[in-house]
Amino acid sequence: MKIKKIIVNDKMQQNYVYFLTKPIGKSFDPNFKPQLTPKEMLEMGVFGGKYMTDCKKEFPASWFKHAKLCPQKHDPKLNFFGVNASQSLAMWRKKGWIHPDDPRGWFQWYCRYYMGRRHKDDQRQIRRWKAIKRHLAQIKYNCLPEDWDCRKKQRQAVLHWAYDSRKI
Per-residue confidence at 86, pLDDT binned at 50, 70, 90?
A: confident
- Report the distance separating Cα 67 and Cα 27, nearest Å: 25
Q: pLDDT digit string (tens) for 22-66?
A: 999 999 999 999 999 999 999 999 999 888 889 899 999 999 999
Distance, C-alpha 104 to centroid of its chain = 10
Q: pLDDT digit string (tens) for 105-150?
A: 999 999 999 999 999 999 999 999 999 999 999 999 999 988 999 9
Are 104 and 12 spatial neighbours (Cβ–Cβ below 8 Å)?
Answer: yes
Per-residue pLDDT averaged across 4-24, rounded? 97
Which residue type is seen at 127?
Answer: R
Please determine, for residue 21, whether its predicted confidence score (pLDDT) is greater than 90. yes
20-24, 69-73, 157-161 — which is least confidently predicted? Answer: 69-73
Q: What is the pLDDT of residue 34?
A: 98
Using DSSP's 3-state secondary structure scheme, residue 76 falls into: helix
Nearest to 162 by CA among 137, 117, 128, 121: 128
Quote the pTM value.
0.95
- Report the distance separating Cα 103 and Cα 97, nearest Å: 10
